[in-house]
Amino acid sequence: MNGLREILAFVVLCMCTGIGLANTPELTGDRPVKVFILAGQSNMEGHGQIRSLDHLGDDPKYGHLLKLLKDPDGSWAVRNDVTISYQAEQREEQKGPLTVGWGASANEIGPELMFGTILGERYKEHVLLIKTAWGGKDVFCDFRSPSAGKPVGDEAVLLEKQGSEGGSREIGVYYRKMISEIKECLANIQDVVPGYHGQGYEITGMAWFQGWNDFCQWPARVEERQVGLGIIDAYPRNLANMIRDLRQDLGVPDLPVAIGELGVGGHEMTRRAHNPRDREAVAMAKFRNAQEAVANDLSLRNVTFVPTLDFWDTRLEELRVMAETYDRVKKEQKIQNTPDNVLPTKELSDEYRRLGGHWYCHYNGSAANYSLIGYALARALDAHVSLAPTPPMGWNSWNAFEKDIDEGKIKAIADAMVTSGMRDAGYTYLVLDDAWMASRRDEDGRLVADPEKFPSGMKAIGDYIHGKGLKFGIYEDRGKMTCQQLPGSLGHEQIDMETFAAWGVDYIKMDSCFAESNGRMSSEHYALFRKCIRATGRPIVLSISDFGNAAWAWGGKESAQLWRTSNDIYPWMDSIYACAETSAGDRAIHPAFNGLWQFAGPGHWNDPDMLQVGNLKDMEAGRREVADRAHFSLWCILAAPLMAGNDLRTMSDQTRKVLTAPELIAVNQDRRGIQGYKVLHEGGREVYNKPLADGTTAVLLLNKSREKADITVRWDQIGLAGSQPVRDLWTREDLGEFQDSFTAHDLAEHEHRVIKVGKPGPPLPAPSPMPLDKYTVTRRGETYLSDLYYIWKSGNAPVYDATFGGEPIRIAGRTFDKGLGAKGKCAVMFMVNRRADRFRATVVMDDTSPDDAKGRFRVHSEDFFSNKVLWDSGEMTKGSPAKEIDVALKDVQCLMLVFDGKNALGNWADAHVVRGSADN
């Protein structure tokens, strides 16, 4: 990471976007106070010695951050725009302006100082930090929240043991304290925030940062630690429950949460963990994995894991070792007998004290370390809410022009985005798709614009776009070539991201043509792009373009803000509805999920591809308009990115009205960020519901079938009852009050209504996401894949526990109860979450296949583009004997089974994974 540039760019961004810089109370105005919760235990309390804070300035990467903490005269800044409330018993002050000294004691800081500083810079609104932290507490008992239930297994054993040693403990007491402190502070906000005049508040995010009490249990004797190890397994569940309960108790269902990794010992600690006898390192590594698992729990949404290993100061670590040796040697009075050159000097010891010199597990007392952690936590929450807090909106060149783009056209489109009102309606990104580049890189290996199409170069185009108040997007491909066979980014990731940043790019669509020969996992490759983008310091949206290869399952949200869920969209309704069904229905995922809604949210969106509004072919004008609206309504209700794909220079007024319909766009851009989901699907009649931030809900009633239909939504399907006001969002008329339901009458094909139902108030409940045990491996021992819902499929959906034809699976006289039946092309993915050691199955061609049928079974790790084949049957014919599969699944997140055979049927008999009884 190139921190310095990152910071500068961040600050410059703040300036360019008019985000208020510190200490400008007049700017805080009437907007609700932004509230952030800082919770955890000793490391959140903070033991960074203020005397060491200047050391931050020596950091080659992050040194510039120090300036943010100081006034021009060099004294520590006191921020009038950020208030902190921290009710620690040992403190005199329990609230005040943010400055140094809000750590565990008045001589110390924790992450709060830099955290609040960064967010103070970021927001115009007043920022309130509510810090609630207690040292020596743990999640399995002290912070245990109601839904975690009673401690069981190792947890119960440990509690009893501790109780019997006189440390009797009350379950959940610190969870309750945390909630009551937050609520109390908010209830008295007028006494906490200076100048508060009733503008209200918004709980915007929470950072959780803790120490080692969940594995290094009290009393911290080595033999006790072993017992503590046992409870790490329960940690992800406990912390997830705590987050869930806290969100509910505070009434913020999707509150973004950043979990700061326990980074003590840094990367060295991770290396040490390879030695199984190094108990401390093994436990810490295990604990970090448990922390990360919370963020990977897809049922939680909006939880980010924030790596902090980079912030462990190794120089300080060396100094500590030397200082301790010095102290010991001195104490033992052996100093005279030891040769000078191997002796740590007093200077080194003093230097260690100057730079913190405090307990090792508290980051050696380094205020610099704590500041960097605060920085990373703030940035994680900020990235979450700021890169794509709502689905990105813009225009992309592909659907209108394909390869045929040039400078003149793009400039004219930029002009049209302004004059047509598209920009002001929210369409911000102007994205150049494939074929903008020259067929070769320059002699330095940099991408260059096609000299004929873009003679002034890409920087100039970017400047032009920015000059119109728009943002600049560009296309690349992660393979060796783009889909149009121009230079791809494989092996040039860093230089390409640098080039884009230098051109002022704000959005990158990263395609996947030819990526199957990359020899890289998709998850790793996109993570690499994100890392390279981060290193440039420019905030850039990353869009995964991969024809819908399950990025929602393999961790796309770790690196990107949106991912394709479908194949390419074409300008006809069958294609549009098919693309929508990848996100809304069972085209890409098991029907039990009711679409992909649970995988979307602020900062990470399902993308059923770009809009074809205005491009529809083979329709007479009247029907075309209805179809355009149906397409747009679906994309709005599905919280899909709205990337227009029509020629804006010649767009009809009718098309313009569809694309800029303000109340439809408001549904798409609703800040609660819930993707709409179906509450009715009967034949071609569909009803979708999208609960909104203001307590109302948007409903789409759509007829996809040829026959006319009446479609009804009942209030009990959308969390309402009684008499409710209804507004039509296309005609922008209030339709009056409706009792119990609303019916749209006589809808012809593609005809629909989009209505808003209910009164403003507390947000309506969203449906519960699918529980993890229904689709991931959660238990030890055997898990049959047919006991899990698949997370992705392409081609025919497999039949569970039977052949594709519905017969029992039989091989050589034996009948199998479990297994999957496949036909033709059938690729299916399961989430094993790195929790399985082996995959086992017996494969055979089904004897109902045509006589000359041939088929092939393959087992992959992750998606098609990762192309990591773990097992391959080779060609099998109808008479081939069954083949046994028994393969190791080390580090496999997603397991993909592929059957390929024209018209053929194949069986994955007994398909299951095994999770060893060993501690994995």
| Nearest partner of 667 among 686, 649, 692, judged by Cα | 692
Neighbouring residues of 739: CB distance < 8 A, sequence distance ≥ 6: 722, 723
In sequence order, the β-bridge partners of residue 799 are: 821
Give the side-chain half-sphere CA count within 13 A for 139.
28
For position 511 contacting ligand GAL by CB under 6 A, the verdict is yes
Q: Per the structure block, which two tokens stand in for 182?
A: 């937050």
For position 483 contacting ligand GAL by CB under 6 A, the verdict is yes
| Nearest partner of 532 among 510, 511, 563, judged by Cα | 510
Considering the complex, state which of residue 482 and residue 594 has its C-beta at the smaller distance from ligand GAL: 482
From 254, 433, 496, 511, active-site residue: 511
For position 310 contacting ligand GAL by CB under 6 A, the verdict is no
Considering the complex, state which of residue 218 and residue 570 has its C-beta at the smaller distance from ligand GAL: 570
Binding mask 118-157 for ligand GAL (x = CB under 6 A): ----------------------------------------
Angstrom distance (rounded) from CA 256 to CA 385: 8
511 belongs to the catalytic site: yes
404 belongs to the catalytic site: no
Rg (CA), the chain: 29
For position 877 contacting ligand GAL by CB under 6 A, the verdict is no
Q: Which residue of 568, 749, 787, 847 would you call a contact of ligand GAL, by CB under 6 A?
A: 568
Determine the interface stretch with ligand GAL among 376-384, 481-489, 630-638, 767-775 (rule: CB under 6 A). Answer: 481-489
Binding mask 437-476 for ligand GAL (x = CB under 6 A): --------------------------------------x-
Considering the complex, state which of residue 403 and residue 530 has its C-beta at the smaller distance from ligand GAL: 403
Q: What is the nearest approach in angstroms of ligand GAL to the Cβ of residue 512?
A: 7
Considering the complex, state which of residue 297 and residue 647 has its C-beta at the smaller distance from ligand GAL: 647
Q: What is the nearest approach in angstroms of ligand GAL to the Cβ of residue 475?
A: 6
Neighbouring residues of 562: CB distance < 8 A, sequence distance ≥ 6: 388, 391, 392, 541, 543, 544, 604, 605, 606, 607, 641
Q: What is the nearest approach in angstroms of ligand GAL to the Cβ of residue 906?
A: 29
Angstrom distance (rounded) from CA 454 to CA 1: 32
Are residues 496 and 437 in contact, defined by beta-carbon separation less than 8 angstroms? no
Tell me, by CB under 6 A, how many residues bind ligand GAL: 11
Reported as type and span, the H/E element at residue 783 is strand 781-784
Give the side-chain half-sphere CA count within 13 A for 177.
19
Q: What is the nearest approach in angstroms of ligand GAL to the Cβ of residue 876?
A: 32
Q: Which residue of 23, 289, 484, 705 would you call a contact of ligand GAL, by CB under 6 A?
A: 484
For position 513 contacting ligand GAL by CB under 6 A, the verdict is yes
Neighbouring residues of 736: CB distance < 8 A, sequence distance ≥ 6: 725, 726
Q: Which residue has the closest beta carbon to ligand GAL?
A: 483
Contacting ligand GAL within 390-419 (CB under 6 A): 398
Q: What is the nearest approach in angstroms of ligand GAL to the Cβ of residue 486?
A: 9
Q: Which residue of 121, 214, 382, 434 would you call a contact of ligand GAL, by CB under 6 A?
A: 434
Q: Per the structure block, which two tokens stand in for 105?
A: 């004691």
For position 545 contacting ligand GAL by CB under 6 A, the verdict is yes
Residue 161, SS3 per DSSP: helix
**First and final CA of the chain: distance in angstroms?**
31
From 568, 586, 728, 847, active-site residue: 568
Q: What is the nearest approach in angstroms of ligand GAL to the Cβ of residue 546?
A: 8
CB atoms within 10 A of CB 330: 14
Determine the interface stretch with ligand GAL among 14-22, 112-120, 479-487, 714-722 (rule: CB under 6 A). Answer: 479-487
b/e code 27-61 from CB counts within 10 Å (16+ = b)? bbeeeebbbbbbbbbbbbbbbbbbbbbbbbeebeb
Q: Which residue of 155, 181, 297, 433 would you call a contact of ligand GAL, by CB under 6 A?
A: 433
Residue 811, SS3 per DSSP: strand
Considering the complex, state which of residue 49 and residue 565 has its C-beta at the smaller distance from ligand GAL: 565
CB atoms within 10 A of CB 188: 13
Q: What is the nearest approach in angstroms of ligand GAL to the Cβ of residue 437?
A: 12
Determine the interface stretch with ligand GAL among 66-74, 371-379, 480-488, 743-751 (rule: CB under 6 A). Answer: 480-488
Are residues 505 and 449 in contact, defined by beta-carbon separation less than 8 angstroms? no
Angstrom distance (rounded) from CA 717 to CA 724: 13
Q: What is the nearest approach in angstroms of ligand GAL to the Cβ of residue 510?
A: 10
Considering the complex, state which of residue 108 and residue 433 has its C-beta at the smaller distance from ligand GAL: 433
For position 514 contacting ligand GAL by CB under 6 A, the verdict is no
Considering the complex, state which of residue 481 and residue 626 has its C-beta at the smaller distance from ligand GAL: 481
Angstrom distance (rounded) from CA 104 to CA 111: 11
Q: What is the nearest approach in angstroms of ligand GAL to the Cβ of residue 396?
A: 8
- Nearest-5° Cα angle at 401, 508 to 483: 55
Determine the interface stretch with ligand GAL among 322-330, 477-485, 790-798, 809-817 (rule: CB under 6 A). Answer: 477-485
How large is the greatest C-alpha to C-alpha distance in the chain, in angstroms? Answer: 100
Q: What is the nearest approach in angstroms of ligand GAL to the Cβ of residue 440?
A: 18
- Annotate 763-817 with DSSP letters as a single string: PPPPPPPPPGGGTB--SSEEEEGGGS--SEEEESPPEETS-TTSPPEEETTEEES
For position 865 contacting ligand GAL by CB under 6 A, the verdict is no
How many angstroms separate the Cα of 54 from the Cα of each of 49, 340, 429, 629? Answer: 10, 31, 41, 59
For position 646 contacting ligand GAL by CB under 6 A, the verdict is no
Angstrom distance (rounded) from CA 126 to CA 111: 19
Catalytic positions are: 511, 568
Which residue ranges make up the site for ligand GAL (CB under 6 A)? 398, 433-434, 475, 482-484, 511, 513, 545, 568
